Structure 1
Amino acid sequence: MEHNQEQFERTERAARLVEARKRAKIGGVKLTSAAFGWNVNNYKAHESGRNGFGITDAKKYAKAFKVSLNWLFFGTGTPEDIDPEIPSVVDVPLISWISAGQLGEQDGLSDFSDFPTIQAIDLPEGDWIALRVVGDSMNKISPPESIIFANRRDRRLVSNGCYVVADETGAATYKRYRPNDLPPFQPASYDENIEPPDFQGSVTVIGRVRRSIINM
């Protein structure tokens, strides 16, 4: 039943996207994609309902076609409605720690399209990834199962800042930066028996963690 509802909403959302494009009178799928610099195959899949699209793409489409975001994404109101000010919502790729380690490589992971996403409200401008915390090494800040959001554009080291880092083996970890300690990336745990990471080779900063959330 839940799957049928999801499919119905995807189909209805796709139909509204088609209507929005036609109202804008820009042209067909290929011409419209070229005009806005969109991947034509991705856009075609959104219009056909083969792939669903999230709030980030919906905002992009609503702005391009000059229609209401609430109408396009949620099906409420009319295309001409003026949307009230709403919090900025972005879809952030939720990646694994193995994938995070690949980001430290020179020719590492760059395409996140196959990863699931998690929505985040009012994140600052940046290049964000999300990871699910495993273990107790940072439980003063992020208990196990927390979701952390790391900005890949922010790699400047600040004392007591929290970072996702990787060593030369591709092992990624989440630690607090303590420049006077060795190594400088340390746990922040209530468990005093947890040892600092044993990094192999040089350490690459993947991004600074600026948010940690957990469902109660």
Structure 2
Amino acid sequence: MTFDDRPAPAIRLEEARKERGFKTAKAAVDYFGWSYATYKQHEQGIRGIGRAASKYAKAFRVSEAWLLTGQGEQPGPAVPLISFVSAGHLTEPNGYVPSDDFISIPAGGLPAGDWIALKVEGDSMDLFSPPGSIIFVNRREREAIDGGFYVVRTEDGDATYKRYRKDPERLEPETTNREHKTIYPKGPLTIIGRVRRTMFDFPA
């Protein structure tokens, strides 16, 4: 068993950085434009993080209080919410999505991944994801597995959320609306990511 004798804020800083999806300190500082030497000293516990706590908390999407004192439970990852139309254009962000660019949704319990959240419009998947619900998509999972739920880019550049089936390869709607038809791809699929969770509110 390895004993970590760093100050608790330094340990939490490393945890927050990894939870945000940055595997290394260098990946984080390169993305945010910080000084590597300064950040590394903060994570190693050589220097206190007091003055930089607000900046780090905002970047890693945790509360400043938790980062400094451990008050409350460690927040789960906050996933950026990007507008989504079931048969419309979807611009896929490259790399990490800046915190200020999108609304973020707390999503505790999700495994490590490159997550985005999409709002479902339309009823083509209403058996699992009613209109207005939020789906959580892991962009690291791009291998098509029979029975899996995916957001896929179509040949004309649009995006659709469907269930993947093989033999023959197809994208099936899961819906009460029989007007939605199965899609048979004409070429290789371009998978944006696998849908792992749906969140929705029951009607009042």
* TM class, shorter-length: 0.5 to 0.7
Residue 210 of structure 1 aligns with which residue? 196
The code of the aligned residue for 2:39 comes to: S
Q: Distance in 2 between matches of 1:140 and 1:172?
A: 19
Aligned match of 2:70: 69
- Distance in 1 (alpha carbons) for counterparts of 2:156 and 2:96: 21
1:118 aligns with 2:118: no
Where do 5+ consecutive residues of structure 1 fail to align?
1-19, 22-28, 38-43, 71-82
Q: Does structure 2 conserve the Cα–Cα contact (< 8 Å) formed by 1:102 and 1:170? A: no
* 1:53 lines up with 2:58 in the alignment: yes
- Post-superposition offset of 1:208: 0.7
Per-residue CA deviation, residues 39-92 of structure 1 (Å, 9 max, x unaligned), is xxxxx89748xx983873448x82xxxx4232xxxxxxxxxxxx6xx4751110
Letter in 2 for 1:171: D
Q: What RMSD over aligned residues (CA atoms) do the two structures have, in Å?
A: 3.7
Alignment size in residue pairs: 160
Residue 146 (1) aligns with residue 133 (2) = yes
Is the Cα–Cα contact under 8 Å of residues 171 and 184 in structure 2 kept in the other structure?
A: no
Pick closer, same or farther for the CA change 1:116–1:45 going to 2, 3 Å: farther
Query: Which structure: greater helix fraction?
Result: 1
Distance in 1 between residues matched to 2:119 and 2:195, nearest whole Å: 12
Structure 1: which amino acid aligns with 2:95? S
Match of 2:166 among 170, 179, 189: 179
**1:1-216 → structure 2 map (5 Å cutoff):** 32-33=38-39, 35=41, 47=54, 53=58, 56-58=61-63, 62=67, 67-70=68-71, 86=73, 89-97=76-84, 101-103=90-92, 109-113=94-98, 114-181=101-168, 184-197=170-183, 202-216=188-202
The TM-score normalised by the length of structure 2 is: 0.63
TM-score by length of structure 1 reads 0.60
CA distance in 2 between counterparts of 1:181 and 1:198 reads 8
* CA separation of 1:45 and 1:172: change in aligned 2, threshold 3 A: farther
Q: Residue 135 of structure 1 contacts residue 144 of structure 1 at CA under 8 Å; is this kept in 2?
A: yes
Residue 101 of structure 1: SS of its match in structure 2? coil
What is the distance in 1 between the residues matched to 2:77 and 2:114?
11
Compute the displacement of 1:214 (Å).
0.2
- Rounded Cα–Cα distance in structure 1 between residues aligned with 2:135 and 2:83: 12
The one-letter code matched in structure 2 to 1:215 is D
Query: More deviation in 201-210 or 121-130?
Result: 201-210
